[in-house]
Amino acid sequence: MRCFLFPLFILLFTKAYGQDVQPVEVIKSDRQVTELLDELGSHEIKLDVIDFLTQPALNIGYEKINDSYSSYGADVFFNFNDNNSSTSWSARFSLNPFYRFYFLNKTDFGGEGYFAEVFIKFSNIEYNRETYYNDPMPNEPYSTTEEIKVWDIAPGFGVGRKWVNKKGWTFEYMVGVGRFLFANNGNDDCTNCGYEVYDNRPEATFKGGISIGKRF
């Protein structure tokens, strides 16, 4: 009798709790990930929608996926705004090569998930230099504003997150900051000369946005 009841008990227990068993996630091998990368493509182009929608500006990027955990690429920024005030970007043009490290990645496509990147920003900057005269002559202005255009380099660091669907469409956001190497912001005072100069050249630069792209 006991020999009959024991298998029956096991059968009822399995039936009652079998529905609560969670499926096991199979982690794909590096070879399988490589095959999926080959299927979707390891090249990616993307457009920053924030710059496109909020500014008369265009930011286009390219990324080459090395494997599941790294990539490299560059993005190019064009600013078509004639106003170089604080409400607009000071950079007129910039080229930004970068190298990314993906981590906490358990997805199939590679180059997806959270990432950190290092970049170097080559920028053509436009800013205002204001000169104030301590004792101007009659009929002469108290201050003058000069528009300055220079090239500068800014190394920086950023973090972000990327998603990739099975059709190869990508969505990402990132934020980063860098510092210009040749910036000499501050006041160039010459009180004895009769004037003071205020240089509004930016010392730091921002890199980031929300991008939509496609792999091929």
Return mean pLDDT, the chain. 79
**pLDDT for the residue numbered 25:** 44
Is the pLDDT at 52 greater than 70? The verdict is yes
Q: Which of 100, 107, 105, 102 is nearest to 36 (CA)?
A: 107
Q: Which of 44, 43, 208, 59 is nearest to 119 (CA)?
A: 208
Q: How far is it, in rounded angstroms, from Cα 50 to Cα 64? A: 22
Specify the range with the lowest mean pLDDT, choosing from 24-28, 80-84, 118-122, 165-169: 24-28
Indicate the residue type of 139. Answer: N
**pLDDT for the residue numbered 13:** 45
pLDDT > 90 in the chain, percent:
41
Q: How far is it, in rounded angstroms, from Cα 206 to Cα 67? A: 27
Q: How far is it, in rounded angstroms, from Cα 27 to Cα 179? A: 40
Residues 6+ apart with CB under 8 A from 32: 108
- Tens digit of each residue's pLDDT (9 = 90 or more) over 134-172: 777 777 777 888 888 889 999 999 999 999 988 899 999
Q: 92 or 214: whose pLDDT is higher?
A: 214
Strand partners, 143: 132
How many other C-beta atoms lie within 10 A of the C-beta of residue 92?
Answer: 18
Angle at the Cα of 87 from the Cα atoms of 85 and 92, rounded to 5 degrees? 60
Token code pair at residue 41: 């493509």
**pLDDT for the residue numbered 45:** 97
Q: Work out the average pLDDT over 120-142.
A: 82
Q: Work out the average pLDDT over 170-189.
A: 82
Q: Work out the average pLDDT over 61-74.
A: 93
Token code pair at residue 149: 């255009």
DSSP string, 137-161: PTTS-SEEEEEEEEEEEEEEEEEEE
Evaluate the CA torsion angle 35, 38, 39, 42 in order and state its sign. Answer: positive
Q: Which of 166, 200, 201, 197 is nearest to 183 (CA)?
A: 201
**pLDDT for the residue numbered 17:** 43
Report the range out of 17-21, 42-46, 81-85, 181-185 with the highest average pLDDT.
42-46
What the chain holds in terms of domains, given with CATH numbers, is: 30-215 (2.40.160.20)
CA 189 vs. chain centroid, Å, equals: 37
Q: pTM of the full predicted structure?
A: 0.72
CB 179 within 8 A of CB 155: yes
- Tens digit of each residue's pLDDT (9 = 90 or more) over 6-36: 455 445 544 544 454 444 444 455 566 566 6
